[in-house]
Amino acid sequence: MPLLSPCDGRVVAIADVRDPTFSAQLVGPGVGIEPVDGRQVVVAPADGKLLKLDPHAFILLVDDSVGVLVHLGINTVRLEGRLFDVLAEQGQSVQAGEPIVAWDPSKITDPDMEGTVVVVLMDQAADSISSDVIGRDIVAGTPLFEWR
C-alpha cells in the first residue's frame, strides 16, 4: 500500500534524521522530509482516522490496524503549538491529501530545533517499507513509500 508525502520537500533516509529515536527506528521504519521554505500545509498521507493530533505531530490509523506518525520537525514539541495551525480534529476520519496542519518551518529560530518532517510506520519491521524517492524532491500527495 502506498503512503503519500504529507508535504513538499527533499526526502532523506530515516538514518539521516537528526533525532536518535527516529534514526534508530525505535518508533518504526520511515523517512524524513526536509521541507521547502515557507508556509506548508501538511496533508494526510493516506485515508484513515486521526488517532492523535497535536500541533507538531499526528498519528493516522490506517486500515484500522497501523499507525502512521507524521512528526513536524525535530524538538518542535517545545514550541508548544506556536508556528502551527491545526486544520483538522482528533478522531476525525480523513482522506489522503486532506489538510491536517499548516506551519512555516523556516520560522524556527532555535538551533536545537529543525524542520525535518518525519513519517514513520509505527511498530513495524524495518523491512516493511520501501522507497525509491530517497534523495529526491517530492510534492505533497505523491507516493513517498510502499508498505507491506
Q: Alpha helices, DSSP H only, in the chain?
A: 20-23
Which residues touch 120 (CB under 8 Å, ≥6 apart)?
14, 22, 25, 27, 28, 29, 30, 68, 69, 71
Nearest to 6 by CA among 134, 148, 147, 138: 138
Of 33, 62, 71, 76, the active-site residue reads 71
CB neighbours (10 Å) of residue 14? Answer: 23
DSSP 8-class letter at 21: H
Compute the distance between CA of residue 42 and CA of residue 142 in angstroms, rounded to an integer: 13
Can 71 be counted among the known catalytic residues?
Answer: yes
Query: What's the DSSP call for residue 36?
Result: P
For the annotated catalytic residues, the residue numbers are: 71
